[in-house]
Amino acid sequence: MSLLEQTHVRTTDAVVRLENVSKQYGSGASALLALDHVSLTVRQGEFVCLLGASGCGKSTLLSLVAGLDKISGGTFDIGGRNVSLMFQEAALFPWLSVAGNVELPLRLQGVGKAERRKRAQELLEIVRLRGFGEKRPHELSGGMRQRVALARALAQNADVLLMDEPFGALDAMTRDILHDELERIWREQELTVLFVTHNVREAVRLGDRVVLLSSRPGRVIEDFPVTHGRPRRIDSPEVSGQAAEITDRLRAEVARHAN
């Protein structure tokens, strides 16, 4: 199969399934191969963290799953499920209230005004922002803005939540609190999560699995199951120990690429 061929295959045992997926930008001598024969399966209810050095294709992979870009080769399937994508920046509209930002996907879905308002308030309760609906984004802390962004993502009624370093710009304490909140919401809403991070401890703290990608072009080089009981603390010996193991593997990969 050439890099320009694309096939979609239905599956019944996975929420997200990629088989030998490649993504190439451009052609000829200037072509950039971002992902090379990536195979990955994410099952219903799993929390899978993608980890790798900068430029390894983690965000590209999320864009493919979100349908924002097309694969260049291989097979890809999400079984017709809805996905929503949450970025590192909250990207809220400053002229809208908090509730207005959460309502926006509902408005685009054609949901009536009364139902939109009701659903937005329910979602703000889920992310523990009750009473903040009339505030504007500039009145909120960074952590609170990310809660609004999460509520807006949930408003899309997605089965799969894609998260591209959503806590990367936050301080350690706020990030730790939001780890707890995300884990609670993931369980309560029965979501499947694909989470990109540079933070190895964060990956072990949150994930059922940590999938390590090689330096460009991105390939899956190891899949680490995380079997420590939940809830976890990011500074626990179990999390620290496995994070050290994964960090050693990541360092070896970065060193190999540098050479």
- Do the beta carbons of residue 25 and residue 75 sit within 8 Å? no
Question: What pTM did the predictor assign?
Answer: 0.88
C-alpha to C-alpha distance for 203 and 209, rounded to whole angstroms: 8
- Residue ranges of alpha helices (H) inside the chain are 58-66, 98-108, 113-126, 142-154, 172-189, 200-206, 237-258
Q: Which two tokens stand for residue 91?
A: 């990207």
Rounded mean pLDDT of the chain? 88
Q: How confident is the model at residue 5 (pLDDT cuts 50, 70, 90)?
A: very low
48-99 pLDDT tens trace? 999 988 878 899 999 999 989 999 999 989 888 889 999 888 889 999 999 9
The single-letter code of the amino acid at 42 is: V
pLDDT of residue 13: 67
Alpha carbon of residue 14 to chain centroid: 17
pLDDT of residue 3: 40
pLDDT of residue 164: 92
